[in-house]
């Protein structure tokens, strides 16, 4: 039985439709991330799961219980928000103990739980301090501790790391993942950061305009995005998009893009080409465009262009190349010997491209099954 189920859930604020017809399930112990641009409905969905908002339509289930109208206290969930909302005048111990005390837990049991959680979060030596005497990361851990001390069925986290600097975010990200794995509590985590989503989630729900466009494993989102929005949202730097067209019939299909026309393997299309001509967009990830000097041998297709920008990160360099009036980002080795305005040739394996219908944005390729790493939490999303 799923731990969480949304059944045709919509939410209106006045006549503004914030959430439209959400249907999804979350399994027991799963770590699901809600990701998407600002205002797409992530927090509203989380709040409906927490019982802080009531759906206008549809039902929310936790286990076998319809909780659509149940108050937060009856849902056995714990939540951490972006602002940790710690009590500034209380010690770390008191901050952790406050919730159980209010619920009337026995004093000795509270002390045992506080020390257990403090131990897990490496806060043991800080129990006497006040929040103002702690670092951002330590305060963050108290907020997590308050969530854990209840031993709820579900953890809900809403942008919990957005107040931290980049280095601390990375550390805390690992700590939350490690904790979640250890406790195996069903977790829903809201972020607008695709890197956070890709590194943390067992599955990721990509939101746009109040709908979930795709809910899938990181690998599926990356390799088989259902549409251009998901494809461009996942991966950094983001996918390059070039205008193109498909023409022909049956097995004799040609793909025109970047000023050329090439034979295209029609077997890769999810549906046979019905029209003589179809306007498409060609998606190419920066890491699939290689400097010709060190391209893998499988990259037989060539694209020529002029270098318009160079961004070096250290381990790699992203070079912006102007191809037929479209700027595209390509991956070069670190510190390549190239200059602005130089003409370069890029190499591409045509098996690496994505194709989207230009009008709908739908991915029109069939499922691609590349050699992979693990099915979840891919290392290329890090950093
Ligand atoms: P962000 O990443 O900026 O926090 P979000 O994806 O979490 O955004 P929500 O906060 O869920 O988005 O908001 C979804 C939509 O509903 C937005 O258009 C927002 O303005 C609207 N909205 C949210 N809460 C209310 C409210 N209480 N009253 C009216 N409109 C609201």
- The 10s digit of each residue's pLDDT in 175-190 is 889 888 888 999 999 9
Average pLDDT score over residue span 14-21:
95
DSSP 8-state secondary structure symbol assigned to residue 53: S
Q: CA–CA separation, 114 vs 101, rounded Å?
A: 11
Q: Shortest CA distance to 4 belongs to which of 64, 78, 79? A: 64
Q: pLDDT value at position 251? A: 74
Residue of minimum CA distance from atom 21 in ligand 1 = 18
Band of residue 380 on the pLDDT scale cut at 50, 70, 90: very low
In the block, tokens 């194709």 appear at: 355
Q: Distance, CA 19 to ligand 1 centroid (Å)?
A: 9
Rounded Cα–Cα distance for residues 137 and 134 (Å): 8
φ/ψ of 190, rounded to 5, equals: -100, 135
44 lines ligand 1 (CB under 6 A): yes
Nearest to 37 by CA among 230, 228, 246, 255: 230
Name the H helices within the chain. Answer: 42-50, 92-102, 107-120, 136-148, 166-183, 194-200, 218-223, 228-233
Supply the pLDDT for residue 378. 44
Minimal-distance CA residue to ligand 1 atom 14: 41
What is the whole-number distance in angstroms between the Cα of residue 53 and the centre of ligand 1?
A: 12
Cβ 22 vs Cβ 212: under 8 Å: yes
Domains of the chain and any CATH numbers:
4-231 (3.40.50.300), 237-370 (2.40.50.140)
CA distance 114 to 265: 61
Longest alpha-carbon distance in the chain: 77
**Omega of the bond leading into 237 within 30 degrees of 0 (cis):** yes
pLDDT of residue 197: 93
Distance, CA of 49 to CA of 11 (rounded, Å): 12
Placement of tokens 């590349």 in the chain:
370
Single out the residue of 36, 52, 35, 45 nearest to residue 5, CA to CA. Answer: 45
**Closest to 97 in 3D by CA, of 58, 63, 144, 145:** 145
CA count, 13 A, side-chain hemisphere, 240: 25
CA–CA separation, 272 vs 267, rounded Å? 8
Dihedral, 204, 208, 213, 217 alpha carbons, nearest 10: -10
Does ligand 1 have an atom closer than 6 angstroms to the CB of 15? Answer: no
The answer to whether 264 and 301 are in contact (CB under 8 A) is no
Quick one: 141 exposed, middle or buried, by C-beta within 10 A (0-12, 13-18, 19+)?
buried
Q: Express as a percent the part of the chain with pLDDT over 90.
A: 55
Q: What integer best gives the mean pLDDT of the chain?
A: 88
Q: 3-class DSSP state for residue 38?
A: coil
Is residue 159 within 8 Å of residue 191, measured between CB atoms? Answer: yes
> Which ligand 1 atom is at minimum distance from the Cα of 210?
14
With a 6 A CB cut-off, is 40 part of the ligand 1 pocket?
A: yes
Is 238's pLDDT higher than 60? yes
Q: What percent of the chain has pLDDT over 70?
A: 95
Average pLDDT over residues 179-204: 92
Tell me which of 183 and 219 has the higher pLDDT.
219
* Ligand 1 pocket test, candidate residues 12, 13, 159, 188, most atoms within 8 A of CB: 13
CA of 229 to the centre of ligand 1 (A): 20
| Average pLDDT estimate for 215-238 | 94
The more confidently predicted of residues 360 and 274 is 360
Give residues with Cβ within 8 angstroms of 222, minimum separation 6: 198, 234, 235, 378
The Cα angle at residue 139 between residues 33 and 42, in degrees rounded to 5: 25
CB hemisphere CA count around 293 (13 angstroms): 7
The three-state secondary structure class of 265 is strand
pLDDT band at 1 (very low <50, low <70, confident <90, very high): low
* Structure confidence by residue, pLDDT tens digits, 53-68: 999 999 999 999 999 9
Output the pLDDT for position 360: 94
pLDDT tens digits, residue range 78-129?
Answer: 888 777 678 889 999 999 999 888 888 888 899 998 998 888 888 889 999 9
282, 355 Cβ separation under 8 angstroms? yes
Angle at 355 between CA 350 and CA 357, to 5 degrees: 160
CA geometry: angle 179, 183, 184, nearest 5 deg: 110
State the pLDDT at residue 2: 59
How many other CB atoms are found less than 10 A from the CB of residue 46?
Answer: 22
CB 305 within 8 A of CB 346: yes
Nearest CA to ligand 1 atom 4: 38
| Alpha carbons 184 and 154: distance in angstroms, whole number | 10
Residue 282 pLDDT: 95
pLDDT number for residue 162? 80
Atom of ligand 1 nearest to the CA of 44: 11
């Amino acid at each position: 039985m799923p731990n969480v189920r949304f059944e045709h859930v919509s939410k209106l604020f006045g006549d503004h439709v914030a959430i439209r017809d959400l249907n999804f399930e979350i399994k027991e112990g799963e770590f699901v991330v809600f990701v998407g641009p600002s205002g797409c409905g992530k927090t509203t969905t989380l709040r409906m799961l927490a019982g802080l908002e009531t759906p206008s339509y549809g039902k929310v289930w936790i286990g076998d219980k319809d909780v659509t109208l149940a108050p937060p206290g009856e849902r056995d969930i714990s939540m951490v928000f972006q602002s940790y909302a710690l009590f500034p005048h209380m010690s770390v111990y008191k901050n952790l103990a406050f919730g159980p005390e209010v619920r009337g837990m026995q004093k000795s049991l509270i002390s045992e739980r506080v020390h257990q959680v403090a131990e897990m979060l490496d806060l043991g030596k800080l129990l006497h301090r006040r929040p103002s005497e702690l670092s951002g990361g330590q305060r963050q851990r108290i907020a997590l501790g308050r969530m854990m001390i209840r031993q709820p069925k579900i953890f809900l986290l809403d942008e919990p790391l957005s107040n931290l600097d980049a280095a601390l975010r990375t550390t805390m990200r690992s700590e939350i993942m490690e904790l979640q794995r250890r406790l195996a509590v069903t977790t829903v985590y809201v972020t607008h950061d695709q890197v956070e989503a890709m590194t943390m989630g067992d599955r990721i729900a990509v939101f746009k305009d109040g709908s979930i466009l795709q809910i899938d494993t990181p690998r599926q989102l990356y390799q088989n995005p259902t549409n251009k929005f998901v494809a461009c949202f996942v991966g950094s730097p983001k996918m390059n998009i070039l205008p193109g067209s498909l023409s022909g019939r049956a097995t004799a299909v040609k793909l025109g893009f970047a000023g050329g026309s090439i034979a295209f393997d029609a077997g890769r299309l999810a549906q046979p080409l019905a029209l003589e001509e179809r306007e498409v967009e060609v998606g190419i990830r920066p890491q699939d465009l290689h400097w010709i000097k060190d391209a893998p041998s499988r990259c037989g297709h060539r694209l020529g262009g002029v270098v318009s920008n160079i961004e070096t990160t250290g381990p790699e360099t992203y070079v912006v190349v102007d191809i037929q009036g479209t700027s595209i980002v390509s991956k070069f080795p670190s510190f390549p010997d190239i200059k602005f305005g130089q003409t370069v040739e890029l190499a591409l394996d045509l098996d690496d491209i994505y194709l989207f219908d230009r009008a709908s944005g739908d991915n029109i390729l069939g499922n691609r099954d590349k050699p992979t790493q693990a099915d979840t939490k891919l290392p290329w999303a890090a950093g």
